[in-house]
Amino acid sequence: MTVTDSAGVQIARISADPETLDEWTLAATPHVVLTGSETGDSTAFSPVGEVRWLASGEIIISDIGAKRLLVYDSTGKFQRSLGRTGDGPGEFRRLGALSAVGGDTVAAFDGTHRRLSYWAAKTGYIRSVSVSEGASLDEWPADAWAWGDSMVVVLQLATTSQESLPTGTKYRKWPMRAHLTLRDRAGLVVASAPAFDGMYTGLYAKGDMRVAFSNNPFAAIGRDRVYFGSGQDFSLFNLSARFDSAREIRWSALQEPVSPAEVSALRAERAAQVGTQLPPERLQRMLDMEFTPELMPPTRPAIGRVLVDADERVWVERFEPARLGTATQQPGRVWHVLASDGRPIARFTLPARTRLEAIRGRHAMVMQRDTVDVETVAWYAVVTP
């Protein structure tokens, strides 16, 4: 890795061949498997949202369907649920990011209410912070995380102008822009980070549509820094504790071309999904539109999600394209683990249908989905050379 300075921002360039890194995997058998039946409620884990380990050892699972948080102790024994469906204090409409704050405290973002609610795992609801600035889409927060004792980091998305289609074309990309704001405990903006590219949809004569290979903007919160980026290439921007630009980590070897085989597989999957519902001619038109070359990126997006563990290691997920028309997203199987200074440590590979959720030392918490889409949460040891 080489480090240079550009206008006061350190640029760290990784030159390692990813194939030469140590290979980390999950142990063959888990320590604990949580099915949701421990709660006594048959609706639990329908579906599983984010999962976090707290510093106190408790495990918090976001139960998206029931709109609540499930608390397990450090051995995997169910303790209690927090929150319920509703609009009042301590109630949820749409669960988003979970943040392990410190001790036994967790913060959960509600995208509908535009607020971050703080909870003590043992005693319940503490307080909420509103991150609302107005009613327009450009002011709507996409996600939010607690940072430190009292600050909140908010990811906001904004639309760009909907320009006409160029003459002779049927489709074009309609991009969004993203930026991060830092809020105080009252929800007031105290700092903003530079804007970056958000995701995009496909614009056509009658509107716009979701596309399979749109990049995913991300943010990940460390102890004294915030990572963010567009996900278009392997670039992780780093904000310091003062919320100013401090560092960027780049790894060009992880930039891949869009594979025709991957596009064909996605197209076949989509055709199988809706093939019995549409006449052949209409199905063909739909597939040609959704997978038109005009809406493909020049290279495959590089980053899906980013996690920062308690040791300040950075875990970076390889991007997986969207499964059009389905609510189930394929989780990334390949992760790259970086030290806090950006040095590559390992390549971490997961089994199919397994989503990495949290890391604690040499242990990983995952969501795993079986062949009939039943979800469980499991705690494994991480096997290293």
Tens digits of per-residue pLDDT, 286-315? Answer: 999 999 999 999 899 999 999 999 999 999
Confidence tier at 366 by pLDDT (50, 70, 90) = very high
Q: Letter for the amino acid at 116?
A: L
Of 306, 305, 154, 312, the C-alpha closest to 223 is 312
Q: Letter for the amino acid at 198?
A: G
| Residues 6 or more apart whose Cβ sits within 8 Å of residue 383 | 24, 25, 26, 27
> What is the per-residue pLDDT for 134?
57
* Per-chain mean pLDDT for the chain: 93
* 190 within a domain of the structure (yes/no): yes
Domain range for 186: 131-238+304-333+351-378
Q: Which two tokens stand for residue 122?
A: 């043992």
| Cis omega (within 30 of 0) for bond into 279 | no
* 222 within a domain of the structure (yes/no): yes
pLDDT higher than threshold 60 for residue 80: yes
List the end-to-end C-alpha distance of the chain, in Å, as a whole number: 22
In DSSP terms, which residues pair with 34 in a beta bridge? Answer: 377
* 322 within a domain of the structure (yes/no): yes
Alpha-carbon distance of 372 to 172, in angstroms, equals: 37
pLDDT in tens, 256-278: 999 999 999 999 999 998 878 89
> What is the per-residue pLDDT for 136?
55
Q: How many other β-carbons are positioned within 10 Å of the β-carbon of residue 174?
A: 21
* 253 within a domain of the structure (yes/no): no
* 174 within a domain of the structure (yes/no): yes
Token pair 């290279």 is found at: 299
pLDDT in tens, 334-352: 999 999 999 999 999 999 9
Of 93, 123, 118, 96, the C-alpha closest to 106 is 118
| Conformational region of residue 312, where left means phi above 0, alpha means psi within -120 to 50, and beta covers everything else | left
Counting residues of the chain whose pLDDT is more than 70, the rounded percentage is: 98
Burial 264-299 (b: 16+ CB within 10 A, else e): eebbeebeeeeeeeeeeeebeebbebbbeeebebee
**If you count them, how many residues does the chain have?**
385
Q: Which two tokens stand for residue 155?
A: 């990811």
Query: What global pTM score does this model have?
Result: 0.95
* 171 within a domain of the structure (yes/no): yes
Least confident segment among 28-42, 113-127, 157-171, 330-344: 157-171
The more confidently predicted of residues 381 and 165 is: 381
* DSSP characters over 133-164: --SSGGG-EEEEEEETTTEEEEEEEEEPP-PP
> What is the per-residue pLDDT for 32?
96
Alpha-carbon distance of 231 to 223, in angstroms, equals: 22
Least confident segment among 132-141, 193-202, 254-263: 132-141
* 135 within a domain of the structure (yes/no): yes
Alpha-carbon distance of 4 to 248, in angstroms, equals: 10
| Residues 6 or more apart whose Cβ sits within 8 Å of residue 142 | 111, 155, 156, 157, 178
Confidence tier at 381 by pLDDT (50, 70, 90) = very high
Domain count of the fold of the chain: 1
138 touches 125 (CB < 8 A)? no
| Residues 6 or more apart whose Cβ sits within 8 Å of residue 39 | 70, 78, 81
Average the pLDDT over 211-223 and give the result: 96
- Return the H-helix or E-strand segment holding 264: helix 260-274
Note every long-range contact of 82-85, with CB atoms under 8 Å and residues 24 or more positions apart, other chains counting. 82/119, 82/121, 82/124, 82/125, 83/108, 83/117, 83/119, 83/125
Alpha-carbon distance of 104 to 63, in angstroms, equals: 18
174 touches 203 (CB < 8 A)? yes
Of 131, 58, 156, the C-alpha closest to 101 is 58
> What is the per-residue pLDDT for 104?
94
pLDDT in tens, 29-73: 999 999 999 998 877 888 999 999 999 999 999 999 999 999 999
Q: Which two tokens stand for residue 306?
A: 């980013």
- Return the H-helix or E-strand segment holding 291: none
* 271 within a domain of the structure (yes/no): no
> What is the per-residue pLDDT for 133?
67
Average the pLDDT over 365-371 and give the result: 95
pLDDT higher than threshold 70 for residue 139: no
Alpha-carbon distance of 84 to 361, in angstroms, equals: 32
